[in-house]
Structure 1
Amino acid sequence: MSACGCDGNNLRPVDEAIAELLARAPAPPPVERVTLNQALGRVLAEPLYAPFEVPAWDNSAMDGYALRAADLPAAGGCLPLAGRIAAGDAAAQALPAGHAVRIFTGAPLPSGADSVVMQEQCRLEGGQVWLPPVPGGEHVRRRGEELAAGTQVLGVGQRLRPQELGLLASFGIDRVAVYRRLRVGLLSSGNELREPGETLQPGQIYNSNRYSLAGVLSSLGLEVHDYEIMADELAASRDALSLAASEWDLLITSGGVSVGEEDHLKQAIRELGELHLWRLAIQPGKPLAFGEVGGKPWLGLPGNPAAALITSLVVARPFLLRAQGCLDVLPQPLRLPAGFAWRKANGRRQYLRARLEQGDGHLRVCLHPQQGSAMLTSACWADGLALVEVGQTLEEGDLLDYLPFSALLH
């Protein structure tokens, strides 16, 4: 059990907090082999090398006619046809001198041919084909021009997207070694919370965080187990956390980490393990905690719905991806002009719900008028987050960093 020195007024910068979280990320889960149709979004656990050259042979990049460029007169001319090669055929015969062959995209180039003329530029004249002059090598994909055999094509820690799956399939690979999905226990804290479908009593609200946070975690490819709502009691918090830590790789809670008398999670964490930090220079989302329970990492997100969503995307996401074994975890913001003025400097970095709109023929970042930490309607209107740095003011047209949700929700 340890103290974290976080009861003072100092707020930790967001980037510093993320760096500390990444430094404390646990080792990746165990490795398993899965089929390609189960591998989308998974994190690669071993490097992969090209087993053969790509392309494996010289082939045509077009539907057209293959020939030796030197066989054509300078102004173009006619050549007799010596056959037809489709994709999937073997180019068994060498190209006879002074001839052309009909060829289709992907078909192997016959020995002796060095060029392809696309069919739109040619015309058939009896048993011959008229071809325009062509430079040597035109429309030919050369053997090994994309990859040499033995080249590393994918590295450990890379998340597999559709294009990586297609590349693996092109090598004939049907199973791949990936890290097992990170198993996350998700808990909500608050006596005021009720589930959708239940009747609300005075002072009660529906538990929106359960669904938005579960959605974020699922978008990252994690396995999520959602527990019942924890009561705002020390014993209940301690029991729920102990159980979750015994069953899952990592714990995430929402609510219960502020300074109120009914926020008991911090004390439960202190009794069960370690509390490392909980006040960040971020808006929304200042009450955010990190610790350990029974040797399992724990992230305590704020209870306000918009704050919980934004901190899960900005702060929790890099840590969760790193714990899954992913190396590239920090999104790259776009640098775009502001479609608004911001004249009041703030002591915390602000993540403002925003979207891109066209103005005077240019994209600009526009804000929703309501930025409260409990307001999810602005997050639904938005397609990303505009960053206003600590102490920064902006005039309309000034450049700022913009993080699209499309870069955060995957």
Structure 2
Amino acid sequence: MKYSPNNPILLSSSLRVDQAHEAIAGLVNEVLRESPLDAELVPLNDSLNRVLAEDLLSPIDVPSADNSAMDGYAFDGTCLKSGSGKTQLKIVGTAYAGKPFIGEIAAGECIKIMTGGLMPNTCDTVIPQELVSATEHDMIFDLSALKAGDNRRLKGEDLQRGKPAIIAGRILRPSDLGLAASLGIPNLMVKRKLRVAILSSGDELTPIGETLSEGGIYDSNRYSLTAMLNRLDLEVVDCGIVRDDPDSLRAAFCEAAKKADVLISSGGVSVGEADFTKQILQELGDVGFWKIAMRPGRPMAFGTLKAVPGKSPSHRTLFFGLPGNPVAVMVTFYQFVRSALLQLNGAKDIRPPLTQAMAEQPIRKKPGRTEFQRAILSRDPLGRPVVRITGSQGAGILRSMSEANCFVILGHDQENIAAGDWVDIALFEGLL
């Protein structure tokens, strides 16, 4: 479903989850074409979870020279062509990693070599030490135990000089930093951190640390949003709690749009008399869609802010208006906002991986919407992955989210699930 601002059809209907993904991705691509994100050079130790801005080319061959893949004895493999039986070679020296053997190796001779030791020019084969019978001066082995060229790591076998070691768009992991360090690279060119503004709207909201008024609730959404954004290593601009009136909301949206690339609000996106988010979004920009056929999280606004005083009209701030219920906030962030932020930040791998597990109990499901049910993944006595729902799935029951370690994702057209059926799951760890 292509993004189409203020389209009355999109605003009046509930999009399928896949259609919403398509619309969001399309708009993010438009924004990237108009305003590509800048890059910056950062020290290696500061680049974890950042997005690599350009291909990292290897400045060296890895390995830098032919070397041994194991502890053993290096020799000229030509002797293996003589047939079967045993042969005896004279040991004329030793090569260690970082301390090569210096000298000539003639026919009928070998050297003892350690893993990583440089291969002499006249040697192309290594036999593991456990396959030989050795004395101080000689070693004997069976010619059929290996073939010429075995157990030798060739120069440039892992990486060749000038070839990409890590591709642009990678969300850098600890192993990537280790790889860059192994190439002697101290700094990496990464995309700058996105600036993401967050706010909560609602007269009932109370900051933590203050006494609750009658009918009031503590604002938890900004804390869960901040934590999820910190997991992505983005810059968070906390705009606080905004009251339920158009002027306050308009001022908060304008201020946030001046400071940030993306604005995420929670609350005020349903159809109540005090829900002004849609009205303000239409005044200041474009509304892409308003409802998604999913549970929880059906009322979710998406669009852009551009008619903001003091800000260039050519620059658009992405807007996500999430529901007010705490679980719905986390579900919609996980399902839509996270991927959009990673895409906007230049990442290539933006969708969280899915796996499957067997349902421990029946799960009720109506076709016509995608459901995200909180669940606990474990293993049964046979070692098979099994998943059970964490009780009531109300959108305001944040405790169930805390107890869970995954979502069970039930597709748009799926119906009731029987115990023992395989279902799609998405793990929380590293995502929320």
* 2:225 equivalent to 1:213: yes
* 2:300 equivalent to 1:300: no
CA apart distance, 1:179: 0.7
In the TM superposition, 1:11-410 aligns within 5 A as 11-25=14-28, 26-27=31-32, 28-71=36-79, 74-133=84-143, 134-135=145-146, 136-294=148-306, 295-359=316-380, 361=382, 362-393=384-415, 394-406=417-429, 408-409=431-432
The whole-number CA distance in structure 2 between the counterparts of 1:378 and 1:238 is 34
CA apart distance, 1:147: 3.0
Residue type at the aligned position of 2:418: E
Alpha-carbon contact 2:374-2:389 (below 8 Å) kept: yes
What's the secondary structure of 1:24's corresponding residue? helix
CA apart distance, 1:304: 0.4
Q: Which runs of 5+ in 1 are unaligned?
A: none
The whole-number CA distance in structure 2 between the counterparts of 1:94 and 1:174 is 38
Residue type at the aligned position of 2:237: H
CA apart distance, 1:187: 0.9
What's the secondary structure of 1:317's corresponding residue? helix
Residue type at the aligned position of 1:24: L
Alpha-carbon contact 1:87-1:108 (below 8 Å) kept: yes
CA apart distance, 1:53: 2.9
What's the secondary structure of 1:267's corresponding residue? helix
What's the secondary structure of 2:103's corresponding residue? coil
Alpha-carbon contact 2:342-2:350 (below 8 Å) kept: yes
For residues 165-203 of structure 1, the C-alpha deviation after alignment (integer angstroms, 9 at most, x for no partner) is: 222222222222111011111111122222222222221
The whole-number CA distance in structure 2 between the counterparts of 1:376 and 1:91 is 65
For residues 104-136 of structure 1, the C-alpha deviation after alignment (integer angstroms, 9 at most, x for no partner) is: 111111121222233344454233344454422
CA apart distance, 1:96: 2.9
* Higher mean C-alpha deviation, range 75-84 or range 183-192: 75-84
Alignment RMSD (CA, Å): 2.2
> Measured at CA, do residues 84 and 326 of structure 1 come closer, stay the same or move farther in structure 2, by a change above 3 Å?
same
The TM-score, its normalising length taken from structure 2, stands at 0.88
* Higher mean C-alpha deviation, range 187-196 or range 243-252: 187-196
The whole-number CA distance in structure 2 between the counterparts of 1:248 and 1:127 is 72
CA apart distance, 1:408: 3.3
Alpha-carbon contact 2:51-2:169 (below 8 Å) kept: yes
What's the secondary structure of 1:244's corresponding residue? helix
CA apart distance, 1:71: 4.7
The whole-number CA distance in structure 2 between the counterparts of 1:94 and 1:370 is 76
Residue type at the aligned position of 1:32: E
Residue type at the aligned position of 1:398: D
* Higher mean C-alpha deviation, range 310-319 or range 330-339: 330-339
The whole-number CA distance in structure 2 between the counterparts of 1:235 and 1:248 is 20
For residues 238-271 of structure 1, the C-alpha deviation after alignment (integer angstroms, 9 at most, x for no partner) is: 1111111111111111111111111122222222
Q: Percent identity?
A: 38
Alpha-carbon contact 1:186-1:226 (below 8 Å) kept: yes
CA apart distance, 1:4: 4.1
What's the secondary structure of 1:158's corresponding residue? coil
CA apart distance, 1:385: 0.9
CA apart distance, 1:8: 6.6
The whole-number CA distance in structure 1 between the counterparts of 2:272 and 2:369 is 21
The whole-number CA distance in structure 1 between the counterparts of 2:214 and 2:74 is 80
Alpha-carbon contact 2:11-2:289 (below 8 Å) kept: no
* Higher mean C-alpha deviation, range 205-214 or range 87-96: 87-96
The TM-score, its normalising length taken from structure 1, stands at 0.92
Alpha-carbon contact 1:6-1:278 (below 8 Å) kept: no
The whole-number CA distance in structure 2 between the counterparts of 1:108 and 1:343 is 64
Q: Which runs of 5+ in 2 are unaligned?
A: 307-315
Alpha-carbon contact 1:93-1:111 (below 8 Å) kept: no
The whole-number CA distance in structure 1 between the counterparts of 2:322 and 2:103 is 69
The whole-number CA distance in structure 2 between the counterparts of 1:298 and 1:228 is 16
Residue type at the aligned position of 2:251: D
What's the secondary structure of 1:406's corresponding residue? coil
